[in-house]
Amino acid sequence: MTRMRRKAIVALFLFTLFIFGAMMGLRTLKPSDGFSDLAPGMDFVGERSERKRLAEKDAPASPGQFRSGGSDTKVVFTKSDRDSSIFYDVHIFYYLWYGSPVMDNKYIHWDHPLVPHWDPKIAASHPQGGHTPPEDIASSFYPELGPYSSRDPNVLESHMAQIEEAASGVLVLSWYPPGVADDHGEPTEDLVPAVMDAAQRHSIKVAFHIQPYKGQTDQSMHDNIKYIIDKYGKHGAFYRFRTSTGQVLPLFYVYDSYLTPPESWTELLTSKGSQSIRGTPYDGVFVALIVEERHKHDILASGFDGMYTYFASNGFSFGSSHQNWKAIKAFCDANNLLFIPSVGPGYVDTAVRPWNNHNTRNRVNGRYYETSLQAALSVRPEIVTITSFNQWHEGSQIERAVPKKTMSRLYLDYLPNQPDHYLQLTRQWAETFNKEKDKWLM
């Protein structure tokens, strides 16, 4: 009798363990149906006033279906002595905000403070304070290069080599105007020339990911675009996108574009706007961030040329949910817009937002990444974006990471795989993407 009771207990324990494992797997791979659990700065519903929508979109000066082609989108063989290629339709988000004492006299961003929850009751139940590098950094993973400085030329060279290894042809650089930075960083615009030069040595192109900043208006955005094109437009690494009409234009990603109402964007992005860049030397392909479903209508009314999803957490927002991509792509096709889905290897930001565990997406040794990439390819996009190369705070990086344990921290890692596992997965899927595109065009 006792033996049977023991067997029953063991069987019940194993069954419970199986159910728990299955639920964790589903949580990782299946989209969530709720989009309300958003991180700071993402409190859209009820927090921000409803944008007045424009009834019609003033057609931009660069019409026609956006289809890549020509020298800016072909495979390029980057080394004459090596059979390796990179692809200009695989774009990867890159951050330049890290600092270390050797190069910057202090740690920057690696010591990012813990962000408190906006509800004081919830905030009180989670840790507060910050991090103390180099042993304790603001990330759940630990970089192979250690808590580095973005100013270190050796770091830049290593990063470009890794991006080349991943076959990503376009680095999408997080950019603030001169003298401007995020809340926890320092201005980095002076580093852009070094990034451009390093990228060119590896046949990588650079596009700009314009970040929101205090006082951003259609006038200031006009000035920003003019500044970027005047300063970097003639550099060999400056990325341009070829449309089906034969126009070759700079491509800009605009983060948190929803913060500016459509009425302001039309002044910049439509031919009749007071600050219009359409049909001028500063024209371009402008891609807005879609978070909520209603944003697609605002993006259309604003005069943007396309939309991207950015977030690596499937189910975190309407835009980042794989299950919605087919409908978003159909909307874009019907309105002559680019749809650029963003995929990532996983997501975990609890090193900076300790209360946000419900938005964590486990990597499952690369299966989450491959599921995301397959979802992106299934809608036949012109471009796929990777979130990210080195957004360490949100655990979405594909940069090399290593196992590390300290007295107070046990970091996540890529084991049982090697530090370059996600670089190799990216290359494999970039090659698959381009083989699939060849079939689509047949």
Q: 308-358 pLDDT, tens per residue?
A: 999 999 999 999 999 999 999 999 999 999 999 999 999 999 999 999 999
Bridge pairing between strands 76-77 and 85-94: antiparallel
Q: Strand, helix or coil at 415? A: coil
Query: HSE on the CB side for 71, CA within 13 Å?
Result: 6
CA distances from 212 to 5, 180, 348, 428 (A): 63, 10, 23, 33
In terms of Cβ atoms closer than 10 Å to its own Cβ (0-12, 13-18, 19+), residue 225 is: buried
Q: Dihedrals φ, ψ of 94, to 5°?
A: -135, 140
- Note the pTM of the prediction, 2 decimals: 0.84
CB 171 within 8 A of CB 207: yes
What integer best gives the mean pLDDT of the chain? 86
Cα–Cα dist 395/413, whole Å: 10
Using alpha carbons only, how large is the chain's radius of gyration in Å? 22
Which residue, 366, 364, 383, 357, is CA-closest to 437? 383
Cα–Cα dist 90/169, whole Å: 6
Q: Is residue 151 over pLDDT 70?
A: yes
Q: 167-198 pLDDT, tens per residue?
A: 999 999 999 999 999 999 999 999 999 999 99
Is CATH 3.20.20.80 what the domain over 90-441 is classified as, yes or no?
Answer: yes
Average pLDDT over every residue of 134-153: 98
Cα–Cα dist 143/71, whole Å: 34
Which residues, 6+ apart, have CB-to-CB distance to 45 below 8 Å?
A: 36, 292
Q: Provide the token pair at 92.
A: 């990867």
Cα–Cα dist 386/389, whole Å: 7
Handedness of CA 239, 161, 426, 401 (dihedral sign): negative
Confidence label for 440 from pLDDT (cuts 50, 70 and 90):
confident
- Would you list the domain boundaries of the chain? 90-441
